[in-house]
Structure 1
Amino acid sequence: MGDSGEDYTGEDYNYTYACNLEYEDLGKLKVGHQQSEPIHIISVVVYIISIMLGLIGNGMVIWVMAFKIKKTTNSVWLLNLAIADFVFVLFLPFYIDYILRDFHWDFGLAMCKINSFVSVMNMYASVLFLTVLSVDRYVSLVHLNWSRRHRTVHRAWLMCGCIWAMAALLSCPALIFRDTLRLHDHVLCYNNFHMQNGYKAAMIHITIVTIRTTVGFLLPLTAISVTGILLSIKVRNSGGSVHMSSFSKTVTAVILAFFLCWAPFHAFSLMELSIHSSVYLHHILKSGFPLATSLGFFNSCINPLLYILLGKKVRHILKSACLNVTKSSLRELSQSISATEIESVPGTHLDSSPDDYLTSSTL
């Protein structure tokens, strides 16, 4: 296995599945490759921005949805969506370190598997939660009687559990095939399909990409588009009895943001399947794949911004919560200062009763 990378050196870039590597891994084997290339610097900047905005924004959404508002099915969907994004951005520093070390993985085999598993699971969980949110929005507006009987918070949590389980199951290939390889003075974190037969390795790769593109993009896009069209027709034909709320508009923006951010990644993943038969695709993928991946990862910090910009109720809740926290902090600070002043008075103690204090102060 140590010599497998030799098929991808020099300037001819002869792609072969003998390496058992996906393109994003193959690109790291190029002789003379440097992390200082502009594309990778841009990726690092995007990752850093995603971490800062993602931790703060998704943290605030989790706080609001979990503790500051009444539990509804909508808040359950948004809470779990925020949790998926929050956990994902916690692992982004590993990607940053990997790039800045010139694609040298320094965290061991287990973290190589877990890091990839979390990123893939976030993608699946996010799109599945958005799909359920879209279908639930359609049902709640069009089938009122049914939704009043069956649309409960308890069932929403059960559905969330099923979504997490399904996302974890779909992400298992990362735990199975992700591996580390020492190549010269670098350690790569890559996909090792454990196949000496290049055809079988290619089939595994094609199967993984096909499932990821179909379940993680095309089927959800179809379901969301159909429910959106049906809902629009219902609103148009309702004569004003059914209308789109500000929450529905926010959900629409969140869904559009997800598919716009992840569409380039899935497009390049499909192109990657043909790179072994086309040398020209290498240059396109080399430039586009890092940026497409960065854009997909950036989606994890967009949702909170959309909630704040488009959701009046969310803005009001955040404003009230921030004011309450500020007032509470000032109150505690004032009490702390008062206690300090009392302690500084000679002959007084905090555990003294008010009468003792009055007596001692008059002596």
Structure 2
Amino acid sequence: MMAQEDGDYVNDTYEYMEYGYVEETKAGGYTQRETLHIISAIIYSLAFTLGVIGNGMVIWVTAFKSKRTVNSIWLQNLAIADFVFVLFLPFSIDYVLRDFHWIFGKMMCKLNSFVCTMNMYASVLFLTVLSLDRYISLVHLNWSERYRNVRRAWWVCALIWFTSFCLSSPALIFRDVIEHNEKVVCFNNFHDEDNKHMLVVRHIAMVSLRTIVGFLLPFATITISGVLLAIKMRQSDSVRVNSFSRTVSAVILAFFLCWVPFHTFSLMELSMHHTTYLHSVLIVGFPLATSLAFFNSCVNPILYVLLTKKVRKLVRKSFLNFTKNSLRELSQSVSATELDSALPSFSPEETTANSCV
């Protein structure tokens, strides 16, 4: 664990909930921003509960209860990315409730941030593929029928996971813990003792990579493919948007609405290397923007149920089957218990006597 003086700590950069821990006052002390902490903890807890149930159900349905198609593979992998992420949310909830005191050690600090970043990259890349696949399957039918199959979809998924792993690897390198004001903080340690300028360079490089690859390029790709699809629909009566396509549009819109504030505040954060003009805005805005981004991990299953009639029917059928099987097992268990209690009990001597007779 590192330990730093106040002067060095002020120069460190913050990512993922590191704004809003404490606010420096004119007297030099610190006051807790309890309202932000409570809001963050509530949103994380809600995202964890809904995310585990919702994404777990999507994984179960797409893996075991529905026909294996290219579309189901995209949705299953998107749900896996969100499911793994929400499983790590209790660490963030504990961090907030302890007034941002990290008790899980350096390796969990790295792993927690790595999973969070990989979720962002994997989600946006799967949404980009979903958008492109929707355009190809509706517009380029001949190419789609020839090359679009389940085996190739799994190869694309493997490539997306590998790419997300590589793009998230800086978290395993730079994430660190320090002891500051009698608390242990999990943060991005961009310091280089031999070259202080590297702090700024590394921070700008990480934010730029995350904004360009994790937001701007996917957003441009999705927007262009959506516009081309709309133009093709207007020109041709043979192209029709089905319910799944509308669901994909809603999922994509929800992702960008949830992540736009986070990327905006990340870019605003770069100004902290030159001026503290936006410091108060970042202290209030960054935790809320991060909470909104994290909440996106539980939104997709809700959209599937609300917008897709087939999914609602399948979930209802699966739930009814599960309930029937549970009640049947409970009934059999109760019957067996009643039968055992109804049978007369014999002592060892009685049993021996009966056997002799």
- Check whether TM > 0.5: yes
TM-score normalised by the chain length of structure 2:
0.90
Task: Report the equivalent of 1:93.
Answer: 90
Please show how residues 136-147 of structure 1 align to structure 2 within 5 Å. 136-147=133-144
The one-letter code sitting in structure 2 at the alignment partner of 1:169 is C
Structure-2 change in CA distance of 1:89 and 1:269 (3 Å): same
Structure-2 change in CA distance of 1:36 and 1:153 (3 Å): same
Structure-2 change in CA distance of 1:299 and 1:26 (3 Å): closer
Stretch deviating more after TM superposition (336-345 or 258-267): 336-345
In 2, the alpha carbon distance for the partners of 1:202 and 1:278 equals 13
The one-letter code sitting in structure 2 at the alignment partner of 1:95 is S
Task: Report the equivalent of 2:165.
Answer: 168
Residues paired across the two proteins, number: 339
In 1, the alpha carbon distance for the partners of 2:14 and 2:302 equals 36
Task: Report the equivalent of 2:201.
Answer: 203
- Residue 238 of structure 1: CA displacement? 1.1
In 1, the alpha carbon distance for the partners of 2:201 and 2:85 equals 29
* Preserved CA contact (<8 Å) 1:121 1:167: yes
* Preserved CA contact (<8 Å) 2:19 2:284: no
Please show how residues 37-52 of structure 1 align to structure 2 within 5 Å. 37-52=34-49
Matching of residue 132 in structure 1 with residue 133 in structure 2: no
- Residue 34 of structure 1: CA displacement? 4.7
- 1:235 corresponds, among 233, 236, 250, to 233
Task: Report the equivalent of 1:104.
Answer: 101
State the secondary structure of the residue aligned to 1:273. helix
* Preserved CA contact (<8 Å) 1:20 1:194: no
Structure-2 change in CA distance of 1:131 and 1:236 (3 Å): same
Task: Report the equivalent of 2:273.
Answer: 276
The one-letter code sitting in structure 2 at the alignment partner of 1:175 is L
In 2, the alpha carbon distance for the partners of 1:223 and 1:108 equals 39
The one-letter code sitting in structure 2 at the alignment partner of 1:202 is V
* Preserved CA contact (<8 Å) 2:22 2:31: no
Task: Report the equivalent of 1:11.
Answer: none
The one-letter code sitting in structure 1 at the alignment partner of 2:232 is K
The one-letter code sitting in structure 2 at the alignment partner of 1:200 is M
* Preserved CA contact (<8 Å) 1:112 1:179: yes
Percent sequence identity over matched residues? 61
In 2, the alpha carbon distance for the partners of 1:153 and 1:23 equals 36
- Residue 278 of structure 1: CA displacement? 2.5
**Runs of 4+ with deviation above 4 angstroms:** 20-24, 29-32
Extract unaligned runs of 5+ from structure 2. Answer: 346-357
Extract unaligned runs of 5+ from structure 1. Answer: 9-14, 349-363
The one-letter code sitting in structure 2 at the alignment partner of 1:231 is L
Deviations 1:301-331 (A, max 9, x none): 0001100100101000001111111111222
* Preserved CA contact (<8 Å) 1:250 1:310: yes
- 2:252 corresponds, among 255, 271, 290, to 255
- Residue 292 of structure 1: CA displacement? 0.4
* Preserved CA contact (<8 Å) 1:5 1:29: no
